[in-house]
Every structure is written in C-alpha cells, then in structure tokens.
Structure 1
Amino acid sequence: MGQLTDFEALAEDAGFLLARLSGIVVRKTNEHLVPHELRVRQFAMLALLCANEGIPQRRLAEQLGLDSSQVVALVDELEAAGLAERTVDAADRRLRQVTATQQGRMTQQRAQAAITAAREEALRMLAPSEQQTLLTLLRKAMTERPT
C-alpha cells in the first residue's frame, strides 16, 4: 500500500479539518495582533466586552467556550493592560461584571483590521463568496443544535 499524501487519509474527517484550519487561522491572527499586544483569545474577549455594557465572568466563559479559570486569567491580563475592568454587580454583590475600558474599546477597534487581514490571508484559497459561505455554515453549526 502506497503512502497517502497531503490530507487524503483525513479528507473526510470534518473534526480534523476544522481543527487544522482553526490552528492556521489562530496562528495567522496572533501574528497580525502582535502590534496591538493581543492574542486571539484576548481579542475575542475584548470584542465581547465592547459589544456589552458589562458581562459576568461566567457568561464570558460560556460565550468563549472556556473554563472559568481561563477566563479569570484572560480578564487579569486585560485588566493589567488597562483594557478591561471588573466591577461588582449592582444586583448581586457576589458577582463580578467585566467591562471594556475606553482604552480597550479603542484597542479593539484598531485591532479589528488585523483580524480581518488575518482571516483573509488564512482563507486566501477561498473566493470571497466561499469565505462568506464558510462563515455562514460555521455560525449555523454553532447555533443550531438538534433537539
């Protein structure tokens, strides 16, 4: 039996292909985010914070698909950089709300162009319409779960 080349042996394995593509996109994105002193997870959290006026750490973990300890570390990093802040929830003092600072909002806006450039570079083999189809299918797969 001859050796299989490229991804032939795994060409029908959606999990492998998604994981491999994810790795490529994350690496490219991290490269593009270096000037903004951010990484993919930090940017993702910052984007969520900028889209909300305060969000509980537990909800951040759910939205990002991360363990709560990972979220605590990310919030710590963003706080140390002056991009986010924790406040006590007015309705439940046991909870912490996380909000983007003004500096965080400006950083997120500037870094958005880097995110777009990284995605375009990582998916350059796809036509723009195919890239849009990919995004549509990924969003559908993430939001529509069978009952």
Structure 2
Amino acid sequence: MATLGTEVQTPRLAAARIGSDVGLLLAKLHSAGSVLNNKALADFGLRERSFSILTLACSGLEPTQRELADFLSLDPSQVVTLVDDLERRGLVERAQGKQDRRAKIIVSTAEGRRMHAKARTAMDEAELAQLAGLSEEESQELKRLLRKALWGAAE
C-alpha cells in the first residue's frame, strides 16, 4: 500500500488495470486523506464532515441546511445532526434566511471562526502530507482539474 509522507511507493497491485480507474484512484486518495484529516481535526473535536459545515458557515455565504446537504452530498438528516452538534458547542447558529424567511441559514459564531482558523491550519498541514509527492504546481493543477471535473468551470 502507498505511504503518505515524503516517500510515496506504488503498491504492487496498482499495476493492474484497476490502478488506472479514476473512481478507484479518487476513492483511495479520499480514503487516505480522510485518515490524515480526521487525525488533524481530532484535537478540535471535529471530523471532516463537521469541519466542512463549519468552513461553509464561516464563508459568509450564509448557506441553508438544504444547500449544505446538496453541496456536501449528505442526507439532510445528517446535516441536521452535524449542525446540532456544532450549535451545541457554540460554533455555529441557525438564523432566519434573508431570501426565504422560512429557511434557516447556518452562520458561524466568533468562537466558530476562531476554532475554524486553528483547524484550517491543521488541515493545511495534513494536505501537505497527503500531497507530499507532488510539487506545488502539481498540487494546484490537481485541485484545478478536480474543480473542473466536478463543476465544469475552468479558472
């Protein structure tokens, strides 16, 4: 199995045709990254999903719970549980939507923004470890290509 860090080794089984399957490669990259990310977030009592919610709450975009569920490909009930936990911890709050007063938007609190800044630093370090086999230019190109594949937008 490949190791993440300064020396990346190709596993023997990657020579099989499955080693060229985009879905498998993305799934394996995500799986390995999730381990690193969740380790980095553990000191903050967060995991990838809750960090994603907190990041979007800190964005200033005032997402609704429905938008969070759609964007993160989560069931709305999962988002409710994640927001409940972050709200209980004083990191986010539900507010009345400005566009649709029936919709609840999720916004960060001052404590949520402080926590997010610290957790973001830890996540950036985890990303550097995960992509250590790539140059800075390659890392930026990978991100650009992933955004293009997901949303069709070239930057």
Whether these two folds match at TM > 0.5 is yes
Seen in structure 2, the aligned counterparts of structure 1 residues 123 and 91 have a Cα distance that, compared at 3 Å, is closer
For residue 32 of structure 1, the aligned residue among 37, 40, 44 is 40
For residue 49 of structure 1, the aligned residue among 36, 57, 70 is 57
Deviation at 1:5, TM superposition (A): 2.6
Identity %: 39
Structure 2 residue 37 is matched with structure 1 residue 17: no
CA distance in 2, matches of 1:53, 1:132: 24
RMSD of Structure 2 on Structure 1 (CA): 1.8
- The match for 1:79 is 87
CA distance in 2, matches of 1:91, 1:130: 40
Tell me the alpha carbon deviations over residues 66-117 of structure 1, each in whole angstroms, 9 at most, x when there is no partner: 1111111110111111111112335544321211111001111111111110
Deviation at 1:55, TM superposition (A): 2.1
CA distance in 2, matches of 1:131, 1:58: 31
Structure 2 residue 15 is matched with structure 1 residue 8: yes
CA distance in 2, matches of 1:115, 1:91: 32
Deviation at 1:26, TM superposition (A): 1.0
Deviation at 1:53, TM superposition (A): 5.2
CA distance in 2, matches of 1:144, 1:72: 29
- In structure 1, the gaps of 5 or more residues are none
CA distance in 2, matches of 1:52, 1:42: 17
CA distance in 2, matches of 1:137, 1:25: 18
- The match for 1:70 is 78
